[in-house]
């Protein structure tokens, strides 16, 4: 039962094929049986989950209809949860119990969701491996000797391993799409400001975007509809109306213009990744989509821009952890956080602001203009999500910019605040998932979801879709 996707689970609950308590127990027992191998959860909230499931069953009996009623969902551990320990996978917050819910958590609860627990991540979301967690690395369900990606690696691994029906992650630049790619699931990074950041433990405030990690594109659409919207508690949220994402508008593929950029098939890209993405694009072309080669701002500069902006904002955001109001002292930060805080402090220190932060924000303008130009010619851009397959455990050791380097293909769109989605397109010969990203202009989630959904349908009978991780 825990293998069901969100839509199937909703239907099953509605038809009374099973109860929310049964569904929740199925997820919890899968976690109990196998999470010792994956380490995808920092905290499992069994009792709260069962209580919420009982309440959901009662509401279902009364015929109440809510978008996520009785659906077990896992949440990344950087979302504040009222009365539930929230660590951001850092020992600084080892025993921190938030006295409030993040807006995303409140929205999930208001929609009737059952919260299974808090998932592992790179500490403070600093990384692309989940290996920098102070609670140990999460393993990739497809190969336990490999990394799940990150920073939302716990959410992606838990979803791929069917520990939950769906999960919530957050992306600063890649932290939803890249682990979704390495774990073979769907990950939607909404436009900056589409989903409230209130109550999310802040990393790069001009970039952070919470979003869903799911088993299907339709599930991501259902969740986005719940999560999106203006929030008085986050002044950067968009006032645009929430579209009916879950209806999945049907963009005619015959009028779709796809942009591809050779710069995104970078030197050193895994040849199997390149072949699978090009093959996937061909399938859309066969359906009538027009493919155009476009020139985009070289993604290598996005690494510099992202490193500077993100580390400056990290140094500012993590300044609040002084061990006074909550959390332990600054001596509890691990190496990666210290590196990022120190670089940010350096770059923002007197006399260096123009050279680093201001320069990076200027190049950010150029990257935004460049995407705007591209989107005059094409509707969406398609590229690999990650240039590599899931890397082995230990890959981050001694690599002082691992996260920033691994996310080269997702950084430009994050810097520009665009929306994007990772969808699985197949497996390598070694049995590791390969993901493709579809990038659209700001607030074009409907379009991106529509094309991703149609690709998923076109390929739903392909053999690789039968692959299941053996844990």
Partner 1 sequence: MKINVPHVAKLANLPISDKERITFQKQLQETVDYVEELNRVNTKNVEPTSQVTGLENIVRDDVTKPSLNQKQALSNSYSTHNGFFKVNAILENE
Per CB under 8 A, residues contacting partner 1 are: 96-97, 99-100, 191-193, 206, 232, 235-236, 238, 300-301, 303-305, 307-308, 315, 319, 322-328, 330-331, 333, 335, 338-339, 341-343, 345-346, 349, 352, 355-356, 358-366, 368, 400-401, 415-417, 442
Going by C-alpha positions, the residue among 391, 351, 468 that lies closest to residue 182 is 391
Cα 82 to chain centroid, rounded = 22
Q: Which residue has the tokens 């950067």?
A: 236
Instruction: Identify which of residues 300 and 377 has a Cβ nearer to partner 1 in the complex.
Output: 300
Active site residue 175: yes
Let me know if 376 is exposed, middle or buried by CB neighbors in 10 A (0-12, 13-18, 19+): exposed
Q: Which two tokens stand for residue 109?
A: 């609860």
Q: Which two tokens stand for residue 443?
A: 């607030």
Find the shortest distance in angstroms from Cβ 446 to partner 1.
17
Find the shortest distance in angstroms from Cβ 417 to partner 1.
3
Q: Which two tokens stand for residue 111?
A: 């929609």
For residue 378, CA distances in Å to 67, 170, 255, 382, 441 come to 34, 27, 10, 10, 10
For residue 165, CA distances in Å to 46, 71, 467 come to 15, 7, 18
Which residues make beta-bridge pairs with 167? 74, 213
Instruction: Identify which of residues 144 and 235 has a Cβ nearer to partner 1 in the complex.
Output: 235
Find the shortest distance in angstroms from Cβ 284 to partner 1.
28
What Rg value do the Cα atoms of the chain yield, rounded?
A: 21
Instruction: Identify which of residues 358 and 430 has a Cβ nearer to partner 1 in the complex.
Output: 358
Catalytic residue (one of 76, 106, 189, 251): 76
Catalytic residue (one of 40, 80, 151, 386): 151
Find the shortest distance in angstroms from Cβ 314 to partner 1.
11
Q: Which residue has the tokens 């209806």?
A: 247
Find the shortest distance in angstroms from Cβ 74 to partner 1.
24
Instruction: Identify which of residues 207 and 390 has a Cβ nearer to partner 1 in the complex.
Output: 207
Active site residue 151: yes
Instruction: Identify which of residues 146 and 340 has a Cβ nearer to partner 1 in the complex.
Output: 340
CB-based burial, 154-186: b 16+ in 10 Å, e otherwise: bbbbbbbbbbbbbbbbbbbbbbbbbbbbbbbbb
Q: Which residue has the tokens 């359906």?
A: 287
Active site residue 76: yes
Active site (catalytic) residues? 76, 151, 175
């Amino acid at each position: 039962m825990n293998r069901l996707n969100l839509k199937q689970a909703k239907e099953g609950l509605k038809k009374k094929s099973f109860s929310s308590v049964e569904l929740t127990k199925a997820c919890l027992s899968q976690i109990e049986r196998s999470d010792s191998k994956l380490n995808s959860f920092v905290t499992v909230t069994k009792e709260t989950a069962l209580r919420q499931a009982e309440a959901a069953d009662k509401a279902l009996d009364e015929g109440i209809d809510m978008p996520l009623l009785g659906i077990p969902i896992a949440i990344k551990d950087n979302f504040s949860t009222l009365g539930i320990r929230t660590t951001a996978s850092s020992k600084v917050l080892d025993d921190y119990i938030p006295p409030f819910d993040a807006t995303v958590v409140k929205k999930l609860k208001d929609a009737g969701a059952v919260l299974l627990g808090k998932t592992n991540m790179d500490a403070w979301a600093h990384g692309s491996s989940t290996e920098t967690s102070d609670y140990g690395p999460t393993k990739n369900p497809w190969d336990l000797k490999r990394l799940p990606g990150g920073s939302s690696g716990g959410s992606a691994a838990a979803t791929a391993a069917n520990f939950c029906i769906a999960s919530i992650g957050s992306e600063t630049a890649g932290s939803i799409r890249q682990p979704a790619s390495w774990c073979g699931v769907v990950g939607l990074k909404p436009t900056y400001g589409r989903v409230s950041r209130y109550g999310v433990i802040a990393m790069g405030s001009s970039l952070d975007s919470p979003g869903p990690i799911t088993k299907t594109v339709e599930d991501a659409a259902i969740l986005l509809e719940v999560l999106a919207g203006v929030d008085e508690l986050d002044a950067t949220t968009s006032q645009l109306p929430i579209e009916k994402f879950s209806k999945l508008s049907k963009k005619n593929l015959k009028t779709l213009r796809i942009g591809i950029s050779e710069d995104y098939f970078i030197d050193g890209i895994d040849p199997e990744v390149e072949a699978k993405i090009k093959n996937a694009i061909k399938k859309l072309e066969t359906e009538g989509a027009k493919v155009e080669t476009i020139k985009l701002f070289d993604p290598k500069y996005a690494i510099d821009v992202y490193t500077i902006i993100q580390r400056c904002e990290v140094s500012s955001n993590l300044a609040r952890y002084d061990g006074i109001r909550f959390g332990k002292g600054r001596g509890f930060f691990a190496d990666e956080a210290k590196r990022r805080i120190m670089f940010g402090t350096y770059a923002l220190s007197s006399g260096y602001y123009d050279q680093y932060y201001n320069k990076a924000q200027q190049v950010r303008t150029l990257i935004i203009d460049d995407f705007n130009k591209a989107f005059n010619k094409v509707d969406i851009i398609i590229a690999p999500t990650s240039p590599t397959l899931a890397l082995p455990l230990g890959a981050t050791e001694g690599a002082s910019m691992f996260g920033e380097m691994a996310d080269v293909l997702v950084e430009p769109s994050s810097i520009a605040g665009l929306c994007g989605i990772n969808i699985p397109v197949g497996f390598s010969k070694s049995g590791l998932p390969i993901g493709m990203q579809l990038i659209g202009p700001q607030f074009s989630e409907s379009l991106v979801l529509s094309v991703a959904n149609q690709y998923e349908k076109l390929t739903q009978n392909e053999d690789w879709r039968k692959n299941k991780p053996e844990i």
